[in-house]
A and B are shown apart, each in its own frame.
Chain A
């Protein structure tokens, strides 16, 4: 199967101190690791694409590692995560689906076997396309304070024969979380949901 050919990587970090309400003791941090890779299936219909997931696994792991490093190096600060992909216009939406397994399991492994499904989204788009990557708590999808999202994108990517891959991690709840629901302190952590 094809190797992973990387053109560009980008790390984004947001620190949120307040949104018009009380300033939090510690800012919420959101980080994204983006990578622009060549789409080996661009321009034609290829039936058997699933094996490319194997090639992407070590790459996903390195992206997740660099994101944790950007957040200070301690995986235990990470409380929320999400993933996404933007496929260049010579590709297919299904090529973005190749990112589910390598992107998701890389983060779950590095975060100590996180239990919740990694929320995701994907689309086909031109360079500069933005993507709202959904975010939920790493151990219990229903923790309401951690339902979040981070918008990402790169001005010159993805080109037609590229895929932009994204991983997102957050260090805490929304900055003024106050709409109730399951709290992080109430997680049972058995089924990944509650």
Chain B
């Protein structure tokens, strides 16, 4: 593995009730995050291909861990998202190199499908910085009940020369969705949008 991983954290959230109403079945989201060494920390490097390869490795590893945390068959995952926080000696572009060129393919391979864009966010920040991973339905980006986000943070990461990389997977949308729009039962799943 090219990635030098210091730490992996897995988060599993189950929402059982909202505003006193039971959510049945519970709304469930999982995120897996890796803290890796940033090979380009502290200097400007033009070619970021090493980080792109690391993204490919982490795409598979973190998706598998998130699915395992949910305890579901990978093919029944419903929404997904990805995000990265670069430590202060790195560059925002380092997050882009991990997230965008190669990370998505293994995510989709693990989940079996994924016609929709994987929503993402990125930032630079100190240890303990909070990442909001945007979430969208994996086969149809416009499914309104699945527009969501999941916050993750690790108190001791990213250090200045590290990058925190996270992938979130769910088996459901928001608890008690009721703002209309496209529903998951209406998905055509052809263009990734509807």
Contact = CB atoms under 8 A, between A and B. Distances in A.
Do A and B form a real pair?
A: yes
Interface of A: 19-21, 44-45, 47-50, 53, 84, 92-94, 97-98, 100-101, 117, 119-123, 125, 130-134, 136, 141-142, 144, 147-149, 151, 174-181, 191-193
B122 A147 contact: yes
Given A21-B44, A92-B176, 5 more contacts: A45-B21, A94-B179, A119-B134, A176-B91, A192-B193
B92 interface: yes
B179 A148 contact: no
Interface string B117-134: 101111101000011111
A110 B119 CA distance: 23
Of B19, B83, B92, which is in contact with the most chain A CB atoms at under 10 Å from its CB? B19
B132 to A, nearest CB: 4
B121 A149 contact: yes
6 contacts: A119-B136, A132-B123, A134-B134, A142-B117, A144-B100, A179-B48
Contacts of A121: 119, 121, 132-135, 148-149
B76 to A, nearest CB: 22
Contacts of B135: 121
Contacts of A148: 92, 122
A132 B147 contact: no
Interface of B: 18-21, 43-44, 46, 48, 52, 83, 91-93, 96-97, 99-101, 117, 119-123, 125, 130-136, 141-142, 144, 147-149, 151, 174-181, 191-193
Closest 3 pairs between A and B when the two form their complex, measured CB to CB: A121-B149, A149-B121, A45-B19
B149 A179 contact: no
Contacts of B122: 132, 147-149
A28 to B, nearest CB: 10
Contacts of A97: 144, 147, 174, 177, 179
Nearest to A20: B44
A177 B134 contact: no
A173 to B, nearest CB: 10
B18 to A, nearest CB: 5
Given A45-B21, A53-B179, A179 B131 contact: no
A148 B121 CA distance: 6
B100 A179 contact: yes
Given A178-B93, A193-B193, A117 B141 contact: yes
Contacts of B44: 20-21, 176
Contacts of A149: 83, 120-123
Contact of B48 (A19, A144, A178, A193): A178
A177 B117 contact: no
Nearest to B117: A141
Contacts of A177: 93, 96
A120 B134 contact: yes
Given A84-B149, A178-B46, A94 B177 contact: yes
